[in-house]
Structure formats: structure tokens, C-alpha cells
Amino acid sequence: MHYRKLGDTNIQIPLIGLGTMTWGQQNTLQDACEQMDFALDKGVNFFDAAEMYPVPPRAETAGDTERCIGEWFAQTGKRSEIVLATKVSGRADTRPDWAHIRGGPRLNRDHIRRAIEGSLERLQTDYVDLYQVHWPERDTNFFGKRGYQHNPAADGIAIDETLDALSELVEEGLVKHIGLSNETPWGVMEYLRLASERGWSKIVSIQNVYSLLSRQFEVGLAEMAMREQVGLLAYSPMAFGVLSGKYIGGAKPEGSRMALFNRFVRYDSPQSQAATEAYAAIAAKQGMSLAQMSLAFVCQQSFVTSCLIGATNMDQLAENIAAGELVLSDEILADIDQVHNQYPDPAP
């Protein structure tokens, strides 16, 4: 397994990181423990969770993913071997279906304090290596939203209060480092500016979507990641499993995410389907699986610190982890660029 430096810290994390959002929904505790055992044996010692996991979010299952990790720590005693990341939920005070998380999560000092205390209890640990803001407080573009509309009246809790509260957690040792998720270039710069001006903790990572079907990160955030040492933790590198090829031709295999949950339509457009078929043809020509080519492409980007994989069975997990060892040739990359030029960012 290859490792890269987490921001400007002295922590090295694997190029393949273990995503966990199916644990407690599509995967049982036993499944999760088996995945963690296997991943660690392969050198994958970076686990990424969130207080609201598993997905889809429901009151009955909220926090169960963190509980799975906590039970594994209790059973194995391997907390010290893991770089552990989790997230505080962003603003959702106007949505009644999120009332199970603190009555509707916000990014103020009180909510952040309660969130970390809850996560630490579920995780059965007294610190988190990386604590991330899951999505912004303000009204901006994330989770596939296009067409920015400026609405400063909906900014809500100011970033300076959020960052001040996060910095307190670092000072107390509850959190080692902080990061962002689903952020924009402006948001990243604002966190960096405030940290520099006020002596608060600096963000070391940004976890945003990045895959063959969604390469918008390259436009503005890639330069930010490189220049400011805020590397990308790429989530959905398989585009909710679309880039496994299993949904080609409109197929929805029994037990798959898109068959189980109708909310996952982000990568289900005709353009995404056409692009996926074209990428599948490239992979077939090279004698590799579409899944491994897709993950290898993400891993090969210099602005990526870790590619977060998620699997619902052990065969998928083994194939995905092995992709971290692949290096795509210039010929394959040129073919990929041709498809990208034909179907530029078909998914948001």
C-alpha cells in the first residue's frame, strides 16, 4: 500500500481509505468487523465515518456506523493502529427528517461540542485523528447542486464561530486535526484565512466527490489542495457503484444501492450512462475491470491524498483495495480524456 501525507501534518495515510457509510444499513456489525480486519491487514489503516451514518440517514440507524467501529476497537484493541476520521453534520434545521440529530444540526459551538462527545462515546475512543465539517452551514453548491445563487441571508452560523469551536477541540486533545467536506474554493479560503489571522487550527483536508463522472474538483479546488496542502479525500470514486458497470443498460441488480434506495439518482442521467459505457470499453480493451480503472484514475491524481472506497461484500473490498497498486498508462489516460471531452462532468 502506498501512503501520502495528510496535509501539512506528520501523519501518513494510505492511498486507499476505508469508507464506512453502509455499515449499520447494508452491512451488519459482523460485516463491518470483517472489512476492518481485512483492510488493516492490507495496510488500509484510515477509516472514515460520520455521526449521521449509515446512509440513507434515518433516526433508527443514526450513529450505527460509528458504533460498529467502536465495537471493533473494543474487540481488537487496535485503536492506536488506525487513523480515524469522522464528521459533524452540517446545517439541517429546516428539515424535519433531520430532527433526530440535535433537533436539526447546526455548526455552532454548542452543536459541535455535543456532536464530538456523541461520536467519541459511540467510537469508544477519547480522540479523533481527523474531525470534518460534513457540509457547509451556508446556502451554497454541494451534494450535486449546480447553478450558484447568492443568498447571504441564509449564511447562518459564521465560519469563524465554527472554526473557533473546532480549534477548541484540538486544544483539548479531543481532535488531532480538522478538515472540511463538500466545500467550495471560497469556503476553503475562508477557513484558511481565519486560521492564519487568528492563530486557530488549520484545515488539513477536504473530502469532496471526485470520479471519472464528476471531475469538477479539478477546476478550482485542485490548485487550492496543492498550494495550501489541503489534500483531497475523494469520496464516491465509484459514483455510487455506477463505475462498477453493474448498472449498464438500465440494470439494477437485486440488493444494489440503486435498487434498494430511490434517492441515489445523482449518476443516473443518460449522459452518465453513455460515459460509463465508454469508460467500460476502455477498461475492457486494457483487460482490467471498470472498477479498478476508475479507482486507479482517482489514485493517480497528485491532489488526491486518499481515495475512499466503500464495499458491501468482501470481493468488492479486495478488488477495490488492489486498485491502489495500479498505474494507468499514458495511452489509457489519453483514452479517458477523449471520453471526458465528449461527456464533460456528466454527473454533478
CA 52/CA 56 separation, integer angstroms: 9
pLDDT at 201 over 80: yes
Q: Are 85 and 132 in contact (CB under 8 A)?
A: yes
pLDDT at 248 over 90: no
Least confident range from 85-99, 152-166, 171-185: namely 85-99
Compute and round to an integer the Cα radius of gyration of the chain: 19
> How open is the CA angle 81-86-87, to the nearest 5 degrees?
165
Q: Are 244 and 276 in contact (CB under 8 A)?
A: no
pLDDT at 255 over 70: no
CA 102/CA 89 separation, integer angstroms: 10
User: What is the model's pLDDT at position 301?
Assistant: 98
pLDDT at 258 over 80: no
User: What is the model's pLDDT at position 247?
Assistant: 85
3 is catalytic: no
Q: What is the CATH number of domain 3-207?
A: 3.20.20.100
The one-letter code for the residue type at 217 is F
pTM: 0.95
Q: Where are the domains of the chain?
A: 3-207
Of the candidates 3, 53, 247, 343, the residue annotated as catalytic is: 53
- Smallest CA-to-CA distance from 153 within 140, 170, 167 is with 140
Mean residue pLDDT of the chain comes to: 95
Q: Quick: pLDDT tens for 93-145.
A: 878 889 999 999 999 999 999 999 999 999 999 999 999 999 999 999 999 89
